[in-house]
Amino acid sequence: MTHTEAVAALRSTVAGLHRELTRYELVIWTAGNVSARVPGADLMVIKPSGVSYDELSPETMVVTDLHGELVEGDFAPSSDTAAHAHVYRNMPEVGGVVHTHSPYATAWAARGEPIPCVLTMIADEFGGDIPVGPFAMIGDDSIGRGIVETLRGSRSPAVLMRGHGPFTVGRDARAAVKAAVMLEDVARTVHFARQLGTPDPIEASAVDRLYARYQNVYGQ
């Protein structure tokens, strides 16, 4: 596949994945974004800023370098582009980044409290407690620095940025969207559990076994 074909394919993939954010009610209006690293190039494809979800298409996606500078596209990149770019520059294993304001996960971010590993689904996907990152201002790479600093010490593909909301990462953009969907689901369930009492954390050795099975054995 040529570079041009790869970018075109990612434009289509990223545009389609934004529909998953609305389908699972993880975003409202124009908030939130999905990006994908372009393989073999210091580039990424990301949602444009301030364009409504029903107007997104492969053609409206934009391409930037890994410092957030526009390379291809007719629109300004997302306001979170600098954060995504910082993640790609510093976490070479990451191929996709997602940001949402999904309500239950964002409520945990507002509290500045990690989501405890009290469910097998949390152990499976996140490998332990879902961590909280520092408060950071929007517009430069401050958020990206907080994401990287937090996730480097965790198996979790998700971070709850304090006072802001969740970011998720993955080996590709689809994996990052999956993590965002699962994050909101467990954030909601643990919130409900907290209304009934204090749920017990899963033992660390069991978390390790569950995580290894899910990451290496589960599925096709």
By the 8 A CB rule, do 105 and 187 touch? yes
Give the active site residue among 42, 53, 65, 101: 101
Task: Record the tokens describing residue 47, joined without a space.
Answer: 């949602």
Give the active site residue among 80, 164, 185, 211: 164
Give the active site residue among 54, 74, 200, 218: 218
Hunting for tokens 């509290």 — which residue is that? 111
Q: How far apart are the first and last CA of the chain?
A: 26
Give the active site residue among 99, 104, 141, 211: 99
Q: Is 99 a catalytic residue?
A: yes
* Distance in angstroms (rounded) separating the CA atoms of residues 28 and 78: 15
Q: Is 191 a catalytic residue?
A: no
Give the active site residue among 124, 141, 185, 211: 124
Q: Is 53 a catalytic residue?
A: no
Q: Is 164 a catalytic residue?
A: yes
Convert 55-76 to b/e letters by CB count within 10 Å (16 or more is b).
ebebebbbbbbbebeebebeee
Q: Which residues are catalytic?
A: 99, 101, 124, 164, 218
